[in-house]
Amino acid sequence: AQSVTQLGSHVSVSEGALVLLRCNYSSSVPPYLFWYVQYPNQGLQLLLKYTSAATLVKGINGFEAEFKKSETSFHLTKPSAHMSDAAEYFCAVRSNSGYALNFGKGTSLLVTP
Amino acid sequence: NAGVTQTPKFQVLKTGQSMTLQCAQDMNHEYMSWYRQDPGMGLRLIHYSVGAGITDQGEVPNGYNVSRSTTEDFPLRLLSAAPSQTSVYFCASSRTSGAVLATQYFGPGTRLTVL
């Protein structure tokens, strides 16, 4: 079964610092991978997705992620954190039983002044 | 387009009560699904549908029923609510083909408390 593991349930960075949120996947077939963001009391919003077209994927709000097959990773990065980036971030992989997504447990990003 | 809409936003039930969470989408998406979100657990799939008249179980289906009589609507029914069903419920939809394959669009959620 397809699954993802997010390393670190809480990450804290200073404003202006690099953001790195880690996600490793397990998949028996080439995966479709996603990063979603959830702001407080809101639904999930797609940040970016990997569908095998390019290994470096650029998303909204300055985020990007790189698919590394050798490391089974799909880490999310942003060069300079803003206060508005504080949110919960979810990595997900499309399940092989259909169109459902298997989510990681989430990483809460705190940005400090 | 309104996207994916969910009602109600908040609901408090007593143990044993029943209710239906509503979900609608206006994007003509074939695929719709329900997730529940619990602290430290991420989102877990309850039920899904790949088209009108077709539904199937996800990871945590017990205690929930669904039906899909139209493309637009996918209600989730709790027949006899239990405290373990206290959660935030999200509905999502997506196309099942084309360039946007598997990009799921989420509703704003329903926060349910069962006393």
Q: Which residues of chain B make contact with A99, given a CB cutoff of 8 A?
A: 31, 33, 48, 50, 94, 96, 101-102, 104
The answer to whether residues B37 and B51 touch, using CB atoms and an 8 Å cutoff, is no
> Which pLDDT score, from 0 to 100, does residue B39 have?
86
Average pLDDT by stretches of 10, chain B with 115 residues = 91 97 95 92 91 92 96 96 96 74 84 96
Nearest CA to CA, how far is B37 from chain A (Å)?
10
Which of A45, A94, A104 is facing B42, going by the closest CB pair?
Answer: A104
Is A90 in Cβ contact with B104 (below 8 Å)? no
Is A99 in Cβ contact with B31 (below 8 Å)? yes
**Residues paired with residue B91 on neighbouring β-strands, in sequence order:** B34
> Which pLDDT score, from 0 to 100, does residue A100 have?
80
Is B96 in Cβ contact with A99 (below 8 Å)? yes
Nearest CA to CA, how far is A89 from chain B (Å)?
10
Is B48 in Cβ contact with A98 (below 8 Å)? yes
Is B42 in Cβ contact with A42 (below 8 Å)? no
> Which pLDDT score, from 0 to 100, does residue A44 have?
92
Task: Flag residues of chain A having pLDDT under 70.
Answer: 97-98
> Which pLDDT score, from 0 to 100, does residue B43 have?
92
> Which pLDDT score, from 0 to 100, does residue B101 have?
58
pLDDT in tens, A40-72: 888 899 999 998 778 899 999 999 999 999 999
> Which pLDDT score, from 0 to 100, does residue A113 have?
94
Nearest CA to CA, how far is B15 from chain A (Å)?
25
Is A106 in Cβ contact with B50 (below 8 Å)? no
> Which pLDDT score, from 0 to 100, does residue B99 have?
45
3-state SS string over chain A?
CCEEEEECCEEEEECCCCEEEEEEEECCCCCCEEEEEECCCCCEEEEEEECCCCCEEECHHHCEEEEECCCCEEEEEECCCCHHHCEEEEEEEECCCCCCEEECCCEEEEEEC
- Residue B65 touches partner A, C-beta closer than 8 Å: no
Inter-chain contacts counted by CB atoms under 8 A, chains A and B: 62
